Amino acid sequence: MTTHAGDKIRLLLVDDEEGFRAAIARRLAKRGMAPAQASSGEECLTLLDTSPMDVVVLDVRMPGMNGIDTLKAIKTNHKDIQVILLTGNAAVSDGIEGIKSGAFDYLTKPVEIDHLFNKIKQAFGMIQLEEEKRQQLAYREKLEKKMVDTDRLAALGTLSTGIAHEINNPLAIINEAAGVIKQILEAPDMAQLPRQGDLLMALDKIETSIKRAGKITQQLLGHVKKQGPRLATTDMRLLILETLALLKGGIKKKQINILWKTEEKEHMLITDPYQIRQVLVNLITNAIHALDTNGTISLSIHETPAYMILGIEDDGVGISSDNLGKIFDPFFTTKSFDQGTGLGLFVVNKIITGLNGEIEVESHPGQGTVFMIKLPLNSGGMAQ
Ligand SMILES: Nc1ncnc2c1ncn2[C@@H]1O[C@H](COP(=O)(O)OP(=O)(O)OP(=O)(O)O)[C@@H](O)[C@H]1O
Ligand SMILES: [Mg+2]
């Protein structure tokens, strides 16, 4: 439960003696409280189901459901409500049983009104304290999780880019050697070679795998290749157009419509155009993959005083809610071996957070997906 705004205490008086209840309510009202009233334990519980309360002042001796049973039911169903019991003068044991069952405190009748007033305020103070503790705990947990995530990703990033560097050179050599073998095998005098076809097929497999490994190293190195930030005043719309030109093969093949949702004008930002281009390539490539023939990619650029927001939207297959939490994980992919490495969005996320930006995604399976990239207008000065 969250406490309501302000300090107004939502208070409920439960007592079967109407005169007594009304008198207490009147006197509390004079002190600025506005208690609701119930005449039995049953009525109290029904009321709590529809009207949230902070504090309940509860008579113990009532016909029907007594105060202790009512208290137990309240604590079971509304554990954050604080209950103050009113016991008969000679019934201290009721009070003690009440405390054991979770009452905040008990007062004996006849009740001294200022005493009750202060008790109610104390009970409410306790609720606020617990709410604060809960919020602090939630905040700490969130922070810790974020720190763990960041550490994990930073370590993974350093390790993987290191490996990518090391793999790049042997990969280039394998690629070249495979090219040489292919050339030799395809030479006219090799036509008589036994099982030439099998050898060429094996070579094809090698080439596909080299391509995939190359794509992985290229993704991983793409965002760290540069020596320090390469910042430039960039027209973001032009950069998107350049990226579309780069990807025009795939766009044409699937006859994809490109739709601008915002006015086509200059949108200048000081940023790292190489990194942003990689972000755009990865996002638009994903959109192309998600679309059937004749699908639409919608693009938008919005500016707020502090941010430039790029929107890349497709009306493609969408992402299931199960997968949505995993798409930024390295190597998460739903694509086949030669289609995807699962690094595209991992890199996108790294680049955007490196530029102090944010990325948001919303997807509806069967309807489409939208990625929003929020870049601070002054990210230039803060880029890594
Ligand atoms: N626009 C989109 N529509 C539907 N699914 C998407 C979209 N973008 C990403 N996905 C899902 O997220 C997964 C991860 O995307 P990511 O770009 O990281 O890797 P990938 O595209 O599979 O491989 P690559 O490393 O080649 O980019 C994809 O496999 C796909 O399932
Ligand atoms: Mg991708």
**Under CATH, which architecture does the 144-222 domain have?**
Orthogonal Bundle (1.10)
CA of 197: how far to CAs of 33, 49, 192, 204, in Å?
91, 77, 11, 11
User: Which ligand sits nearest to residue 369's alpha carbon?
Assistant: 1
CATH of domain 232-382: 3.30.565.10
Cβ–Cβ < 8 Å for 60, 96: no
Q: Which two tokens stand for residue 107?
A: 């007062």
Domain 11-111 identical in fold to domain 144-222: no
Q: What are residue 369's DSSP bridge partners?
A: 314, 363
Q: How far is the CA of 348 from the centre of ligand 1 (A)?
A: 11
180: amino acid identity, one letter:
V
Q: How far is the CA of 168 from the centre of ligand 1 (A)?
A: 24
Q: How far is the CA of 370 from the centre of ligand 1 (A)?
A: 12
Q: Which two tokens stand for residue 121?
A: 């305020």
255/233 Cα distance (integer angstroms): 33
244: amino acid identity, one letter:
L
Q: Which CATH class is domain 11-111?
A: alpha beta
Q: How far is the CA of 339 from the centre of ligand 1 (A)?
A: 10
**Per-residue confidence (pLDDT) for residue 6, from 0 to 100:** 37
The protein residue whose alpha carbon is closest to atom 17 in ligand 1 is 344
Please report, for the chain, the start and end positions of each structural domain, with discontinuous segments joined by +: 11-111, 144-222, 232-382
The protein residue whose alpha carbon is closest to atom 13 in ligand 1 is 333
**Per-residue confidence (pLDDT) for residue 221, from 0 to 100:** 73
Sheet architecture: strand order including 105-108: 36-38, 11-14, 55-59, 82-87, 105-108
Q: How far is the CA of 291 from the centre of ligand 2 (A)?
A: 13
Atom of ligand 1 nearest to the CA of 333: 29
Dihedral of the alpha carbons of 348, 353, 356, 357, in degrees to the nearest 10: 50
Task: List, run by run, the mean pLDDT of 10-residue segments along the chain (384 residues).
Answer: 57 95 94 94 96 95 93 94 86 82 91 94 92 86 68 66 79 92 90 88 92 82 58 93 92 96 90 90 96 97 94 98 93 84 88 92 97 84 42
Atom of ligand 1 nearest to the CA of 343: 25
User: Which ligand sits nearest to residue 340's alpha carbon?
Assistant: 1
Residue ranges lining ligand 1, Cβ < 6 Å: 219, 282, 286-287, 290, 314, 316-319, 327, 332-335, 340-346, 369
